Amino acid sequence: MTARLGRYGEATMTKLMIIAGTALTGAIGLTGTALADHPYAFTGTMLETTLSGAAEVPGPGDPDGSGITKLWLNHGQSEICYEIMVTDIALPATGAHIHEAPAGSSGGVVVGLAAPNADGASMGCTMVDQALIKEIRKNPADYYINIHNADYPAGAVRGQLRKKNR
């Protein structure tokens, strides 16, 4: 059995299967690498938040700004890993932090995070005292994520932490 390859002549089905198999193996290899490097490889208790300018206290925050944050609290490794994505704010951001205060209040910085870049993204891990990790895990609503930029130095978008809905 043969397959026509246009002006390049004919190739046997065996050759086509070898080519297709090689391409598929390469694609699977690339997918495996991408998954290994993906932030969802982070471990620990997962928290999340939805960010908005309307949540800023004291306001105003950026009225168009929005975003999401995911945190992984790894008590055993004394680290918090995170993934932040913001949109519709002036970028790059100038700061990103976890603050301690319930909704409707402002509070001090307890953990510094890498500020989102010009694409609005940031991810990484930072070492944190185990007692603080335990407290955040126990009472996530008492903490919030705040993203700052040049237009809104006190905070462009904010969101209270909550346990990840599964």
Percentage of the residues of the chain whose pLDDT score is greater than 90: 71
DSSP 8-state symbol, 95 = E
What pLDDT was estimated at residue 29?
39
pLDDT given at position 43: 83
Evaluate whether 66 touches 50 at the Cβ level (below 8 Å): yes
- The 10s digit of each residue's pLDDT in 93-144 is 999 999 999 999 999 999 999 999 999 999 999 999 999 999 999 999 999 9
Domains annotated for the chain, with CATH where assigned, are 2-37 (no CATH), 43-163 (2.60.40.200)
Bridge-based pairing state of the strands 66-74 and 45-52: antiparallel
The separation between CA 24 and the C-alpha centre of its own chain, rounded to angstroms, equals: 29
- Give the pLDDT band of residue 18 (cuts 50, 70, 90): very low
Instruction: List alpha helices for 85-162, DSSP H.
Output: 130-138
**pLDDT value for 15:** 42
Instruction: Give the predicted TM-score (pTM) of the model.
Output: 0.75
Tokens of 59: 């306001």
Q: Are strands 162-163 and 45-52 parallel, antiparallel or unpaired?
A: antiparallel
Integer Cα distance of 52 and 92 in angstroms: 17
pLDDT digits (tens, 9 = 90+) for 67-97: 999 999 999 999 999 999 999 999 999 999 9
